[in-house]
Every structure is written in C-alpha cells, then in structure tokens.
C-alpha cells in the first residue's frame, strides 16, 4: 500500500478560530477527517503530522525518505521563509504537493513568494479545505504516474 504523509505547518492547529475571514471555519480536525476519508476511499495509507517548529518539520521530511511515497505539505508561514524545509524536500526527492487554504497570491506581497514551490511537483492555493482534497488527489496521481521515487 502506498503511503502519503501530510504535514501541517505552524498555527494550522488554530484553524477554526484563526482569522476565519481568511481561512474559513474549518478546523484542523475537520481537514484531517476529510483526508482520512479520501485515503480510505483510494486505498492509501495516511500519516498526518502538525508542528509549529521548523526543525521538527525538517526532521519529519528527512525521516519520510524511508517511509512515505508522497508528501502533501502546507508549510504555512514557513512557505515564505524556510530554506531548510525547501532543502529537506529537495533532499528526499519524494513527490511533493504544496497546499494553501488561502490564495497566497491575492494577499500581502510577502506571501507571494514560495520558497517551496520550485521543489514541489505543484501547488494548490486558495480553495480552503478543498485545497487539501485537490492536493491529496494530485499526490495520488503522482504516485500512479511515478510509481517509483524520483531519482
């Protein structure tokens, strides 16, 4: 069974209460329920990880080299700042989909640049909870088209 690792970055544990006008009313538990349903329906093994700490996210990505076939990540604020997370994704060479609840290109200018996008297979941004759904389906698609990890 193929495995997808989903990583939620900093402050995403606060979804539901955090700036609902930007991120909607969905909670992280709600997002995770959706992902679990999708994984079950598609016969995918799912691991979900949330951390507010850059180093923990870097370590998790590094460890996933052994354990995951694809990665779906919302790096949250680290999208715009983290060379370390970008380098971890580039190092493990696991097909990666970057997701954002909000449309980062329609927001403040500092959010327009993603350091992660160049090392991801693609990005889904702006569809709320559905960004995760679309991103997860995209990751499944990558597993089908690239059954082996990128060299």
Q: Is the dihedral of CA 137, 141, 143, 149 positive or negative?
A: negative
Instruction: Assess 46 for contact with ligand DQA (CB under 6 A).
Output: no
Exposed e or buried b per residue across 101-110, where buried means at least 16 C-beta atoms within 10 angstroms of its C-beta: bbebeeeeee
Q: Is 78 an active-site residue?
A: no
- Output the CA angle 61-69-43, nearest 5 degrees: 130
Single out the residue of 35, 31, 30 nearest to residue 3, CA to CA: 35
Instruction: Assess 5 for contact with ligand DQA (CB under 6 A).
Output: no
What is the distance between the alpha carbons of residues 81 and 140, in angstroms, rounded to a whole number? 28
**Residue 8 backbone dihedrals phi, psi, to 5 degrees:** -105, 130
**Residues in binding contact with ligand DQA, number by CB under 6 A:** 10
Instruction: Assess 100 for contact with ligand DQA (CB under 6 A).
Output: yes
Instruction: Assess 79 for contact with ligand DQA (CB under 6 A).
Output: yes
Instruction: Assess 30 for contact with ligand DQA (CB under 6 A).
Output: no
Instruction: Assess 101 for contact with ligand DQA (CB under 6 A).
Output: yes
CB of 87 to ligand DQA, least distance (A): 19
Q: Is 23 an active-site residue?
A: yes
- The interface with ligand DQA within residues 103-142 (CB under 6 A) comprises 104, 111
Which of these is catalytic: 23, 53, 80, 132?
23
Q: Which residue has the tokens 């500092």?
A: 110
Q: What is the CA radius of gyration of the chain?
A: 14
Instruction: Assess 60 for contact with ligand DQA (CB under 6 A).
Output: no
Instruction: Assess 26 for contact with ligand DQA (CB under 6 A).
Output: no
Binding site for ligand DQA (CB under 6 A): 11, 74, 76-77, 79, 100-102, 104, 111
């Amino acid at each position: 069974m193929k495995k997808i690792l989903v990583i939620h970055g900093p402050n995403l544990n606060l979804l539901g209460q955090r700036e609902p006008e930007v991120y909607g009313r969905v909670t992280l538990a709600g997002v995770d329920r959706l992902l679990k349903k999708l994984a079950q329906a598609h016969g995918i093994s799912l691991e979900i990880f949330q951390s507010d700490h850059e180093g923990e996210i870097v370590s998790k990505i590094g460890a996933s080299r052994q354990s995951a076939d694809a990665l779906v990540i919302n790096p949250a604020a680290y999208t715009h700042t983290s060379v370390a997370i970008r380098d971890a994704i580039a190092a493990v060479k696991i097909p990666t989909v970057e997701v954002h609840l909000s449309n980062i290109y329609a927001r403040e200018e500092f959010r327009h640049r993603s350091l992660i996008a160049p090392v991801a297979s693609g990005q889904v941004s702006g569809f709320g909870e559905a960004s995760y759904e679309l991103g997860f389906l995209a990751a499944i698609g990558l597993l089908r088209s690239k059954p082996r990890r990128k060299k």
